[in-house]
Structure 1
């Protein structure tokens, strides 16, 4: 873990309001997670990135705007990989019930990530999730 912390601990990328931004965001995260040697939960991380990026596109990015994806690797021993999606849309996301036909993305994020939440941003919001990477 000490070798990982010495590498760059923040990566970020801006994406335009386009469908192709979701696979591009997954690839960006896959590269960072691989570079940081954190591949053990890669499938969970990539699924959460897909859900958060898709939610930003569908609900949080007005026409002509985009969203920012930030990855943080922090701590030592009990560190975490934090994924943040910053958008400029209004409203707060909500976890839908399992039986509802659509809108279950945050239900998946809540089930797969160790933590998740929503933070303030002006304009918009930050939806984030974290995965423990400690020993």
Structure 2
């Protein structure tokens, strides 16, 4: 991302067009999520669906929503702070980043039958995303995934 990103809107999130996005036909969703605000996951899914619809990239909405939900939920469950969600849609496809404020890096693991549905989020991201990763960022980390333009026609 460039230094030209627009700030969060008055409600702390929503669709934002950046100066660079207007020039390159990219669209940006940026949303701050409060600590333990799991109700925000549904709102982020809705905003992501709208972002993809407005960008005419609606082919993989279900996958994008699922993977975004997993990353946001992980950030809220495994940290005592909030998170910042950024989704960018452009010519290359979709990139979603979830930044939290805890330095510990996540790693996918093979859950056991006793785990129920717990522990499968990063495995889903690994299996369904075209690319994904984690990198340190200031006082925390960013977990991201990409769905290429072929996945989001």
TM-score by length of 1: 0.84
Superposition pairs of residues 65-80 of structure 1, within 5 angstroms: 65-74=81-90, 76=91, 79-80=92-93
- When the two chains are superposed, the root-mean-square deviation of aligned CA atoms in Å is 2.0
Displaced runs of 4+ in structure 1, greater than 2 A? 5-11
TM-score by length of 2: 0.75
Structure with the bigger percentage of helix: 1
> What 5-or-longer segments of structure 1 have no aligned partner?
none
- C-alpha distance in structure 2 between counterparts of 1:112 and 1:125, whole Å: 21
Instruction: Report how many residues are paired.
Output: 126
- C-alpha distance in structure 2 between counterparts of 1:13 and 1:54, whole Å: 14
Could you tell me which residue of structure 2 aligns to residue 40 of structure 1? 59
Could you tell me which residue of structure 1 aligns to residue 29 of structure 2? 11
Q: Which moved more, 1:5-14 or 1:117-126?
A: 5-14
Conserved 8 A contact 2:129-2:145: yes
Could you tell me which residue of structure 2 aligns to residue 54 of structure 1? 73
Structure of greater relative contact order (alpha carbons < 8 Å, 6+ residues apart): 1
Residue 45 of structure 1: how far off its partner (Å): 0.5
